[in-house]
Structure formats: C-alpha cells, structure tokens
C-alpha cells in the first residue's frame, strides 16, 4: 500500500488515499473529486477547472499522468 494526498493528485485538500496501484489511486481520487464537486467545494472546483484546462491537451494530460505515476512508483510502501 502507498499513500498519496488529494493535493498531490491535483486536488486541493490533505485527504489521504491508500492504494496498491496508481490506477486504484487515481480512481479513489476521482471519486473524492466527484463528491467534492457535488458539495460545491470551492477549492476543489478550482482545482478541477485547472485539470480540465490540462485535459484540453492530450499530450499535457498524458505527461501529467505519467509524472504522477512515476511519483507513485517512487513512494515508500506504507509500513
Ligand atoms: Zn480533496
């Protein structure tokens, strides 16, 4: 298991996600983002807008994803 925070994944709070794979991590972050979106949480909405800007460019998005995946792979396993 590894731990990443919402912030590390392009969000805006310190909520921690624990997962074995980056795909799992991304999925948890996505769900959390949706929840925050439904609550109209201002900082998350702002972070989401920025992500959407990024998504307009598939290359940048891919790069972002690869970078985060690398970050995840370099993390220490939870003790
Ligand atoms: Zn968050």
Q: Does residue 79 have a pLDDT over 90? A: no
Q: Does residue 73 have a pLDDT over 90? A: yes
Average pLDDT of the segment spanning 34-39: 96
For ligand 1, the distance from its centroid to the CA atom of residue 7, given in whole angstroms, is 7
Distance CA 1, CA 52 (A): 28
Distance CA 59, CA 11 (A): 20
For ligand 1, the distance from its centroid to the CA atom of residue 58, given in whole angstroms, is 24
For ligand 1, the distance from its centroid to the CA atom of residue 64, given in whole angstroms, is 18
Residue 17 confidence (pLDDT): 98
For ligand 1, the distance from its centroid to the CA atom of residue 17, given in whole angstroms, is 10
- What pLDDT band is residue 12 in, cutting at 50, 70 and 90? very high
For ligand 1, the distance from its centroid to the CA atom of residue 48, given in whole angstroms, is 10
Average pLDDT of the segment spanning 17-27: 96
Share of the chain above pLDDT 70, in %: 100
């Amino acid at each position: 298991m590894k731990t990443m925070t919402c912030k590390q994944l392009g969000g805006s709070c310190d909520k921690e996600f624990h997962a074995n794979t980056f795909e799992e991590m991304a999925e948890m972050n996505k769900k959390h983002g949706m929840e925050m979106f439904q609550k109209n949480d201002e900082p998350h909405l702002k972070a989401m807008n920025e992500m959407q800007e990024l998504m307009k460019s598939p290359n940048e998005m891919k790069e972002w994803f690869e970078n985060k995946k690398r970050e995840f792979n370099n993390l220490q396993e939870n003790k």
